[in-house]
Amino acid sequence: MAVKRKSDSVKFADLGVSQQELLRYYGDMLLIRRFEERAGQMYGMGLIGGFCHLYIGQEAVVVGMQAALKEGDTIVTSYRDHGHMLAAGMDPKGVMAELTGRRSGYSHGKGGSMHMFSREKNFFGGHGIVGAQVPIGTGLAFAHHYRGNGLICVTYLGDGAINQGQVYESFNMAALWKLPVVYAIENNRYGMGTSIDRASARTDLFHRGMAYGIPGEQVDGMNVLAIYEAGLAAAEHARSGQGPIILEMMTYRYRGHSMSDPAKYRTRDEVNRMRTEHDPIEQVRHRLLEDGANEAQLKQIEGEVRDRVAEAAQFAQDSPEPDPAELWTDVLAEA
Amino acid sequence: MATEVLMPALSPTMTEGKIARWLKSEGESVRAGDVLAEIETDKATMEVEAIDEGVLAKIVIPEGTEHVAVNTPIAVIAENGEEAGAAENIAPASRAPQETPVKAPRPSPPPATSTITQRAVPPETEYTGKTRTMTVREALRDAMVEEMRRDDTVFLIGEEVAEYQGAYKISQGLLEEFGARRVIDTPITEQGFTGLGVGAGFAGLRPIVEFMTFNFAMQAIDQIINSAGKTRYMSGGQMSCPIVFRGPNGIAARVAAQHSQCYASWYAHCPGLKVVAPYTGADHKGLLKSAIRDPNPVVFLEHELVYGESFAVPDDPEFIVPIGRARIARPGEHVTITAFSRMVKLAMQAAEELQKAGISAEIIDLRTLRPFDVETVVASVKKTNRIVAVEEGWPFAGIGSELAAIMMEECFDWLDAPVKRVAGKDVPLPYAANLERLAVPQVEDIVAAAREVAYR
């Protein structure tokens, strides 16, 4: 069984990723960063309510994985889902309008931050119960397998969800039936306020499929190209009929668990060190400049991102609340 | 352009807070993510971070100030290179509107005559074609076989459904006809295979998830309610989960408390699900076919003690029974008795006894518990003016309790006697034969209840 561990970070030039593609990753990650900052700001202004889990710091994971997927592959995740939706190509306006609880939101204001979906972009949520998305993602992979359509499902879960029993029920069935699923564990080191070493008897999560013969690999989750490379190989593994595979993305969230988390369980120094030394966006920016991209190109991307986020924020405030009659709709589909 | 920093709301409930400390002073430059100040809320001390880079041009609210309302300007950030004095002509930050920007007029919600939602149910046509006598077990199998022949997206998944032919022999012959792709034995892993079924349903397949008993579905109830039942609503109608959860519910024979419970009221409580609990062979077949074709999650409650009973069952593969309609199992005039699943049989036997005493009972087989057929029950009670609600499950917050509420709301003025419930006793089901019999409604209990409300 191939459980391997990757320690060196990827050599950018060896991957055959063009500067054009790298510029796109830069823009995609920056969009998530700026979107989330704005969401945090709007939460502070009382425009967004309830729970709001920001993705800042983890942007490379979804952008790198998305680049490794094919049209039609499906995605499902938990409640820290804004980044996944933007990476899947969902419209920032519709996502932000859902955060403000307006009728133009993806769920018409009925789902909020944790519950959004896009059939068009093959994004199957946005699920609020920790770990529940794992059997669901396994079921999406089951459907690909049943139809024999050559597609795969990427099921994201966190280091908190990894200790839920249903995760292992899923691992077992996925391995038993060789389902085309990539389990992408986003290990950001904290399940809410509990650090991984206080929650997990063994903290090397890529080993968690070993009992089922599922190969696993640890990936530098702050490095978009490392993720892209690992994602390509994992997707190929799942697509080729070899069954599930686990990627453990070593990542970090800069913000608290949710907006109302004072984050006293970790030091400011720890956060600052990650931001200054491992920021996924700064790494790519640095690499682009070294590779001969110029400041003007980056400035242009930054300007476009700023405009898109501003437009989304404005849209989300201008869109009306759902019609009161909407209270009663969408409970059941018409038989 | 300078921008205002507003007192942020740092939790869903925060309305004001105290500026505990400024960590930057006026004139200092800041980068995105730098901590500007610490704020004490009722729950915690939180940090306020700078959103953009610039210079802290002015501190508007000094540290130590208490009761600072959310959205009050607390500082001004100038862009790099801008005079600190720019603080004087600031652009007001876009502030949370005092009211929502567009106040839609508030039309009243659709008139609901009852507190529960009612929906249009397709009419039920009387079947006059050929029938065959068969057991409920065979009727259930035939329903699945016919639907699996009709639609390749339908598959059966659960413990012992394939090679073993079903723990209660419901799926006999299915593996042989449809193969291992569509008749799938699972490990003993209820939460896992239920969630897998839900995911497959989201992807457009039509899973039939068999639970060896509904007692084991408690392991999976989060997936049934939170994932299957709520996702359509939470997605604004974008997602569907066409799935059937089926298996024996209620008591069996001498299997004690953990294997003997009625879950009817648990599932019937939840919007987003449909819940069916039939009795006759025709209803088992017709309702299961409807459930499989339904675009929503359907909880299909069977009964182990009914599997072996024989009925005349329609032979036509297009015969279906619409979900949402109760059935008058026996017309009567003096008292309405409602029941579902196995209790219909006992209610029918009670009606025979009552007839001897000159009491004509109208038996309503509820069949569907959600959406509930209020109309049929209310019409009956307006005729008989009395009702006995029978169920095998516990009385507290049961289907009978709901019927009592419906009677208060819908036919208070027609009632000539208080609503009477006949339910399982309020104890975990005992093993000993004599105690088990005492815990479960018997024909004599129904007869006694009917006589009580009829004052005869």
Residue B340 in any domain: the answer is: yes
Q: How many CB atoms lie under 10 A from the CB of residue B113?
A: 11
What confidence tier does B53 reach under pLDDT thresholds 50, 70, 90? Answer: confident
Contact A165 B191 (CB under 8 A): yes
3-class secondary structure, A262: coil
Residues of the domain holding B341:
327-454
In the Cβ-directed half-sphere of A242, how many Cα atoms lie within 13 Å? Answer: 15
pLDDT tens readout for residues B385-415 = 999 999 999 999 999 999 999 999 999 999 9
- H or E element in which residue B336 lies: strand B335-339
| Whether B298 and B336 share a structural domain | no
Query: Could you tell me if A79 and A127 are in contact, meaning their C-beta atoms sit under 8 angstroms apart?
Result: yes
Domain assignment present for residue B72? The answer is yes
- Average pLDDT estimate for A11-23: 79
Average pLDDT over residues A285-299: 93
Last residue of a domain, one of B257, B286, B314: B314
Please name the residues between 60 and 119 in chain A that touch chain B, using a CB distance below 8 Å. Answer: 74, 76, 105-111, 115-119
Q: What is the dihedral of CA A67, A69, A74, A80, to 10 degrees?
A: -30
Q: Does A335 touch chain B (CB under 8 A)?
A: yes
* Predicted confidence (pLDDT) at residue A259 exceeds the cutoff of 90: no
My answer on whether B145 and B76 are in the same domain is no
Residue B353's domain is classified under what CATH number? 3.40.50.920
Q: Peptide bond before B105: cis, by omega within 30 degrees of 0?
A: no
pLDDT for position B355: 98
SS3 A220: strand
Q: Which of A135-144, A259-268, A323-332, B19-28 has the lowest mean pLDDT?
A: A259-268
Q: Are strands B45-49 and B35-40 parallel, antiparallel or unpaired?
A: antiparallel
Q: Rounded to an integer, what distance in angstroms lies between the CA atom of residue B385 and that of residue A164?
A: 53
Q: For the segment B289-312, what is each residue's pLDDT rounded down to a tens digit? A: 999 999 999 999 999 999 999 999
- ipTM score: 0.94
pLDDT of residue B35: 83
| DSSP H or E run through A33 | helix A19-44
Tell me the C-alpha distance between B89 and B381, whole Å. Answer: 74
Residues B194, B216, single domain; the answer is yes
CB contact under 8 Å between B109 and A327, yes or no, is yes
Whether B344 and B419 share a structural domain? yes
Whether B281 maps to a domain, the answer reads yes
Catalytic residue list contains B259 = yes
Residue ranges in B225-373 assigned as alpha helix (H): 231-234, 264-268, 281-293, 343-356
Give pLDDT tens digits for B54-72.
899 999 999 999 999 888 8
Interface test with A, best of B3, B202, B294 (most A CBs within 10 A): B202
Q: Which residues of B278-300 are buried (b: 16+ CB within 10 A; e: fewer)?
A: bbbbbbbbbbbbbbbbbbbbbbb
Count how many domains chain B has: 3
Which residue among B259, B375, B402, B436 is the active-site one? B259
**Same-domain pairing of B338 and B281:** no
Residue where the block lists tokens 């969009």 = A31
A9-14 mean pLDDT: 56
Q: CB distance from A132 to chain B under 8 Å? A: yes
Q: Is B40 a catalytic residue?
A: no
Other C-beta atoms within 10 Å of A122: how many?
21
**In the predicted model, is pLDDT for residue A52 greater than 60?**
yes
Contact A142, B202 (CB under 8 A): no
Rounded Cα gap, residues A313 and B204, in angstroms = 34
Residue A234 has pLDDT above 50, yes or no: yes
So what's the pLDDT on residue B82?
59
Residue of A nearest to B220 (CA): A166
Pairing of strands B327-330, B310-314: unpaired
Residue A114 and residue A128 in contact, taking contact as beta carbons nearer than 8 Å: yes
Q: Do B297 and B200 reside in the same domain of the chain?
A: yes
Chain A residues whose beta carbon lies within 8 Å of the beta carbon of residue B155: 146
- Which of A108, A142, A334 is the mutation pick for testing B, counting most B CBs within 10 A? A142
B92: in domain: no
Q: Pick from B46, B102, B110: which is nearest to A328 by CB?
A: B110
pLDDT of residue B116: 65
Report the residue of chain B nearest A51, measured CA to CA: B12
Q: Do B295 and A333 touch (CB under 8 A)?
A: yes
Same domain, residue pair B33 and B158: no
Whats the size of chain B, residue-wise?
456
The one-character DSSP state at A200 is -
- A135 to B117: CB separation less than 8 angstroms, yes or no: no
Distance (Å, whole) CA B208 – CA B286: 15
pLDDT for position B119: 66
Task: Indicate which CATH number applies to the domain containing B204.
Answer: 3.40.50.970
Residue B267 · residue B341 · CB < 8 Å: no
Same domain, residue pair B393 and B337: yes
* Range with lowest mean pLDDT among A274-278, B33-37, B83-87, B330-334: B83-87
pLDDT interval class at A2 (50, 70, 90): very low
Residue B323: its chain A contacts at CB < 8 A? 335
Determine the angle formed by the axes of helices A19-44 and A59-67, rounding to 10 degrees.
Answer: 140
- Look over chain A and give the mean of its residue pLDDT values, rounded to a whole number: 94
The fraction of chain B above a pLDDT of 70, given in percent, is 91
Can you tell me the distance from the alpha carbon of A96 to that of A45, in angstroms, rounded to the nearest whole number?
14
The residue ranking higher by pLDDT, B125 or B159, is B159
* pLDDT band of B94, cuts 50, 70, 90: very low
pLDDT at res. A260: 80
For residues B147 and B210, state if they share a domain: yes
**How far apart (Å, rounded) are the C-alpha atoms in residues A217 and A206?**
6
CATH match of A4-315 with 3.40.50.970: yes
SS3 A84: helix
Torsions phi, psi for A29 (to 5 deg): -70, -40
Q: Using a CB-CB distance cutoff of 8 angstroms, which residues of chain B are in contact with residue A331?
A: 117, 232-233, 271-272
Q: In what order do the strands lie in the sheet with B16-22?
A: B45-49, B35-40, B16-22, B68-69
Among B10, B117, B195, beta carbon nearest to A135: B195
Q: How far apart are CA A56 and CA A29, in angstroms?
A: 10
Do B443 and B355 lie in a common domain? yes
CA distances to A98, A110, B6, B218 from A106, rounded to whole Å, are 6, 9, 29, 32
Write the single-letter amino acid at A322.
Answer: P
Strand partners, B302: B248
Spatial strand order of the sheet with A181-187 comes to A4-5, A216-220, A245-250, A181-187, A153-158, A74-77, A123-126
pLDDT beyond 80 at A93: yes
Domain boundaries defined on chain A:
4-315
Buried b (16+ CB within 10 A) or exposed e, A276-304: eebbbbebbbebbeeeebeeeebeebbee
Residues of chain B in contact with residue A50, where contact means CB-CB under 8 angstroms, are: 12
Q: Quick check: is B382 in a domain?
A: yes
Tell me, yes or no, whether B350 and B374 share the same domain.
yes
- Whether the Cβ atoms of residue A197 and residue A219 lie closer than 8 Å to each other: no
| B351 three-class SS | helix
The confidence score (pLDDT) of residue A11 equals: 55
Q: Please answer yes or no on whether A124 and B106 come within 8 Å at the CB atom.
A: no
**pLDDT band for position B102 (50/70/90)?**
very low
Instruction: Categorize the per-residue pLDDT at A98 as very low, low, confident or very high, splitting at 50, 70 and 90.
Output: very high
> What share of chain B has pLDDT > 90, as a percent?
78
Structure tokens at A197: 């070493």
Partners of residue B208 on adjacent β-strands: B156, B244
B199 closest CB neighbour out of A109, A135, A275: A135
Please check whether residues B237 and B175 belong to one and the same domain.
yes
Helix axes B374-384 and B399-411, enclosed angle (nearest 10): 70
Q: Which residues 185-244 of A have a C-beta within 8 angstroms of B? A: none
Task: Give the per-residue pLDDT at A14.
Answer: 63
Instruction: Determine the distance in angstroms separating the CA of B332 from the nearest CA of chain A, rounded to an integer.
Output: 32
Tokens found for residue B261: 């419970």
Q: Which of B100, B191, B233 has its CB closest to that of A135?
A: B191
pLDDT at B89: 52
pTM for the predicted model, two decimal places: 0.90
Residue A205 neighbours by CB distance under 10 Å: 25
Do the Cβ atoms of A330 and B10 come within 8 Å? no
